[in-house]
Amino acid sequence: MSIQNFYYTVTSSRSFFIQMVFTLNAIYYVTQADLNALQLVLIGTIMEVSVLLFEMPTGLFADHYGRKKSLAFGTLVLGLAHVLEGSTPEFWAIAVASAMWGIGWTFISGAEQAWIADEMDVKNLEKTFLRGSQFSSFARFAAILTSVAIAAVWSVQTAIIIAGIMLIMLAVWAFIKLPETKFVKVSREKGVSGVTHMMTSIKAGVSQIRGNTVLVSIAMVTLFWGLASEGFDRLYGAHFIVDYQLSESESVYWFGTFYAVAFLLNIVVLRFVERHVKGRYAQVLLMTNTILMATMIGFAWTGHFWIAVALYWVTSALRNVNYPLMSIITNERIESKGRATTLSMFGQLDAFGQIAGGPLVGMLALYTSIAGGITSSALLIVPVLYFLWRMKGKMTVS
């Protein structure tokens, strides 16, 4: 199996099992755990606090002990989190599972990109990341059908628990099977304490970012993406269920349809980008995020169910373009040694943005309306447009 196929296998399989949960957890939180708007946002905030606290230590773990080990362990923690979440429909259990999920994801986030970039010598990353996103979208589409079928025959809880168990099995497979041949260990000098070593690694990463104007712009875009995303992620489900009065049984089928069409659209969009972008990443991101802001606001206020559904589909497809394109730009501009640590810094910025933005949006939604909370999330994309515009100019000049 080629290294790209290993990458596609592990990322698409993980996407499949996670999407089994994400298809149903908005329904699970509202109808079975009975969470209110503030609690819905708080579980996301708890997750992002754990990401903020653990991104840097786990990035250093990946650079010191190996990206494969980090990736496998993170997948294991995700699986355990979903088993806990699905077995106990109460706020405290979901909150603990969210913290575990955030920790697990930090072991994966920088490590996975660093692993594939190193194994491929930073060559052909555009095709690999975009093709990987397409495979993941296919996997998510299949997961939607699977999770809806399981929920219809058994229950939402059963689907979530099964997905958690499968993630644990994937972690074992990844640990045994994934190749890692080009890992350059970041070693600690003799006599240097762990804290000093960590601070040295952090300073090296910060210096690398500060020395590149495009990376500085990426850092700011990442921060504001985090600020803008958390409110929408936690409130769109409640918007459909509460504002359009969907029952639990209706929600299972509707949410399956929402996700299925969104991922099919995402595959089409990513395929178009793969064929026609050819390096114009910043220009494409500027255009898609401008449209994204408009579709989020329209989704919040339309009042017509089918228009809201259509706007949700466009919003979801456009949001899924951000990650692979920004991954290409970022990995092309950072060094191999310490790559996972530097990538973790961007993960921390995203987490900080979601921590800061989530509760504010949740409070606004609680005391005004869900539509008001989603609108405030959309408006947080305005600074993103400025920094993408600035980044586009710098990349054109270079």
Average per-residue pLDDT for the chain? 83
Positive or negative, the CA dihedral 322, 325, 327, 330 is: negative
Question: Has residue 189 been placed in a domain?
Answer: no
Question: Has residue 185 been placed in a domain?
Answer: no
String of b and e for 207-225 (b: at least 16 CB within 10 Å)?
Answer: ebbeebbbbbbbbbbbbbb
pLDDT in tens, 12-43: 999 999 999 988 887 888 888 888 777 887 88
DSSP 8-class letter at 398: -
DSSP 8-class letter at 122: T
pLDDT in tens, 255-278: 778 878 887 888 888 888 777 777
Q: What percent of the chain has pLDDT above 90? A: 27
Q: Rounded to whole angstroms, what are the CA distances from 341 to 99, 215, 251, 297, 299?
A: 21, 14, 40, 36, 37
Count of structural domains within the chain:
1
Question: Has residue 188 been placed in a domain?
Answer: no
pLDDT in tens, 106-128: 899 878 888 888 888 767 777 78
Question: Has residue 187 been placed in a domain?
Answer: no
Q: Cα–Cα distance between 190 and 198 in angstroms, integer?
A: 14
N-term to C-term CA, the chain: 37
Q: Count CA atoms closer than 13 A to 283's CA, side-chain side.
A: 9
* Interhelix angle 370-379/339-367, nearest 10 degrees: 140
Question: Has residue 186 been placed in a domain?
Answer: no
Question: Has residue 286 been placed in a domain?
Answer: yes
pTM above 0.75, yes or no: no
Which pair of structure tokens corresponds to residue 223?
A: 């921060």
Q: Cα–Cα distance between 321 and 281 in angstroms, integer?
A: 10
Q: What is the mean predicted confidence (pLDDT) over 167-177?
A: 94
> Higher confidence at residue 107 or residue 230?
107
pLDDT in tens, 189-211: 555 445 565 566 566 556 656 65
Residue 397 confidence (pLDDT): 47
DSSP 8-class letter at 133: H
pLDDT in tens, 286-339: 999 999 999 999 999 998 999 999 999 999 888 888 878 888 777 777 766 666
Q: 18 Cβ partners below 8 Å, 6+ apart?
A: 78, 143, 163, 167
CATH number of 360's domain:
1.20.1250.20
Residue 17 confidence (pLDDT): 95
Dihedral over alpha carbons 14, 46, 288, 344 (to 10 degrees): -70
Domain that holds residue 393: 3-178+195-397
**What are the φ/ψ torsions at residue 89 (nearest 5 degrees)?**
-80, 60
Q: What percent of the chain has pLDDT above 70? A: 88
State the CB neighbour count (10 A cutoff) for residue 80.
18
Which pair of structure tokens corresponds to residue 212?
A: 């590149």
Helical ranges in the chain per DSSP H: 3-27, 37-65, 67-87, 91-119, 125-153, 156-177, 194-210, 213-238, 248-276, 281-301, 305-331, 339-367, 370-379, 382-397
